[in-house]
Amino acid sequence: MFWPKLVLPRWVLSSPTVAEWKKFSVMAVAKDKFIAAYGTWMIFPVTGEPNQNLPINEVGSAMQPIKKRKSSASGSSQSSACWEHFIRLPDDLVDAPTAACKHCHKKYLCDPRTHDTTNLNHHILKCSKKPLVVSTDSTQTILTYPSVDGKLVQVSSRFDKKACRSALSVFVVLDEQPFSAVEGEGFKFYSKVMQPQFTIPSRRTTSIQNLNHLTLTAHFVDNEWKYQKRIISFTVIPNHKGETVGRKIEEVLRDWGIRNVSTITVDNATLNDVAVTYLKRKIANMNGLKGDGECFHMRCSAHILNLVVNEGLKDKHLSVTSVKDAVRFVKSSPHRAAKFNECIEFAGITCKKLVCLDVSTRRNATYLMLEVAEKFQLAFEKLEDEESSYREFFGKGNPPSNDDRDIARAFSAFLKLFYEATKTFSTSQNVSLHTCFHQVSAIYCELKQATLNLNDFFASVGGDMMEKYNRYWEVLIR
């Protein structure tokens, strides 16, 4: 920057009078409003009237006036970070300006004219009662000491939310933990201590992405003749068309080098028929079919059984609906659930199970609802006497009567066979194919007997389920 140069008159080096300052100010304005000095003298602009009491330094140069900092309404400015941990005590309680630690209440003098904040800052570093504050800055690095070859090594790491979520997923998959494991209070406390910056995702977290997924599980017998199963693919596919599914399975088999396929088990859907037909043709071209391929396409027995049960439950009896409404009342609010727990304790019920609602997409849900509700019959009766809104919840209907409970109990016993069969079909620890025939035969006999029941409800349910049963398994009975 170019600074204009002025030649100072000799009288400036001495103590000037007011008149002389005014005369010199006029000269300075004519020279770009700057006063220039030689050597180490400061350069400053001249505006307005000069101060009559403007001080002169040792060599006679004019000194710039010192600007005083405006005091705040609460006293002197407290810009140091240590004041986040200290509070200044009222003057009427102490003899001299004093500050006290907010955590341990230790006192220090803090008069700004005689004391700075050094003691306060030193105290904050060693205060034993100051709470630990973890930075939420994602760029903040953390010093860790992992063991390498038996020695501790300093490593600076940074919090990675994506890596933490991935590690949590690995924990759930490898240890075969339920998704609800992340919602336990003990797990939350452990996670908070290990990594306070990590927020545990809820098992109910859903994605707004509408993606199609395909999972392929391989079942095989190893060299020691032990039954094994492995998920060999979990991938996103563009759509659920039969040919798309078939091509994706073909790609996975090629990547794994699998040529010989005995059977493929899928749910009962038209698209799966198209996919299996495509795969059968491709594998036959590689001479990978076992035998003539007659058993290549296997339909999931558990899925068929679920279709049979849902067919019978599409028109539920009023007694089953009444029990479902009673369970829905208990689970509709925390207050009602707490009231129900009080009734359980009063009735002396020791069952640790929880009442649950049936869900149409879950197998055996209706059976589990009826089976558990029966164990809490006394609690429901007590709830009807204690909670006035319980009866109002049913509207024009009524809470379950003794007849309703008898019908629900009989229906639960009828569904128990299907529940046991589904557990047998769905096992993944051993081969279940050789036991399916016995379960399918027992179900046929049960349905046959239900169609002859004198109770119109059971006869209707048995007839609907038998029709669906014959659609898939009639050939087995023949």
- The tens place of each residue's pLDDT in the chain, 478 residues long, gives 433 333 444 444 444 444 444 444 444 444 444 443 333 333 344 444 444 444 444 444 444 444 445 444 444 556 788 888 888 888 888 888 899 998 888 899 888 888 888 888 888 888 887 766 555 555 666 666 666 676 766 666 777 888 888 888 888 888 878 777 888 888 888 888 887 778 888 766 545 567 788 989 998 888 998 888 888 998 889 988 999 999 999 999 999 999 899 899 888 888 899 999 999 999 998 888 887 888 888 888 888 888 888 888 776 678 888 898 999 999 888 889 889 999 999 989 988 888 888 876 666 788 889 999 999 999 999 998 888 888 888 887 788 888 888 888 888 888 888 888 888 887 777 777 777 788 888 888 888 888 888 778 788 888 888 888 888 887 665 5
Q: How far are the Cα atoms of 8, 226, 421 from residue 427, in angstroms, in the given order?
A: 104, 15, 10
Residue 374, token pair as written in the block: 């029966």
Pairing of strands 297-299, 264-266: parallel
Amino acid type, 366: T
Q: Is the dihedral of CA 362, 368, 373, 376 positive or negative?
A: negative
- What confidence score (pLDDT) does residue 267 get? 86
Rounded to 5 degrees, φ, ψ at 412 are -65, -40
d(CA 74, CA 86): 15
Instruction: Catalogue the long-range contacts made by 169-172 (C-beta closer than 8 Å, 24 or more residues apart).
Output: none
Exposure on the CB side of residue 459, measured as CA atoms within 13 A: 5
Question: pTM higher than 0.85, yes or no?
Answer: no
**Residue 114 burial by CB count (10 A; 0-12/13-18/19+): exposed, middle or buried?**
exposed
Phi-psi region of 358 (alpha: psi -120 to 50; beta: other; left: phi over 0): beta
Q: How far apart are the first and last CA of the chain?
A: 106
Rounded to 5 degrees, φ, ψ at 229 are -145, 145
Per-residue pLDDT tens over the stretch 108-121:
988 888 888 888 88
Q: How far are the Cα atoms of 209, 447, 473 from residue 441, in angstroms, in the given order?
A: 43, 10, 10
d(CA 167, CA 328): 37
- What confidence score (pLDDT) does residue 147 get? 66
Q: What share of the chain is helix, strand, coil (3-state, %, to 5)?
A: 45, 10, 40
* Residue 104, C-beta contacts closer than 8 angstroms, at least 6 positions apart: 127, 128, 129, 130
Helix (H, G, I), strand (E, B), or coil: what is residue 474?
A: helix
- Do residues 43 and 37 lie in contact, with contact meaning Cβ atoms separated by under 8 Å? yes
d(CA 120, CA 101): 8
Q: Taking each helix axis as running N to C, give the angle between helix 456-477 and helix 301-313, from 0 to 180 degrees, rounded to the nearest 10.
A: 160
Q: How far are the Cα atoms of 25, 31, 36, 137, 369 from residue 46, in angstroms, in the given order?
A: 7, 11, 11, 48, 92
Q: Is the dihedral of CA 273, 274, 275, 278 positive or negative?
A: positive
Pairing of strands 151-152, 147-148: antiparallel
- Do residues 246 and 271 lie in contact, with contact meaning Cβ atoms separated by under 8 Å? no
H-helix or E-strand containing 231?
A: strand 227-237
d(CA 402, CA 377): 10
Helix (H, G, I), strand (E, B), or coil: what is residue 265?
A: strand
Instruction: Catalogue the long-range contacts made by 115-124 (C-beta closer than 8 Å, 24 or more residues apart).
Output: 117/80, 117/82, 117/83, 120/80, 120/82, 120/83, 120/85, 120/86, 121/80, 121/81, 121/82, 123/82, 124/82, 124/85
- What confidence score (pLDDT) does residue 134 get? 53
d(CA 64, CA 55): 8
Rounded to 5 degrees, φ, ψ at 237 are -120, 150
d(CA 13, CA 58): 10
d(CA 296, CA 264): 6
H-helix or E-strand containing 220?
A: strand 212-221
- What confidence score (pLDDT) does residue 143 get? 63
d(CA 289, CA 279): 10
Q: How far are the Cα atoms of 109, 168, 203, 416 from residue 114, in angstroms, in the given order?
A: 9, 56, 59, 86
Placement of tokens 């770009």 in the chain: 32
Q: How many CB atoms lie within 10 A of CB 409?
A: 17
- What confidence score (pLDDT) does residue 181 get? 81
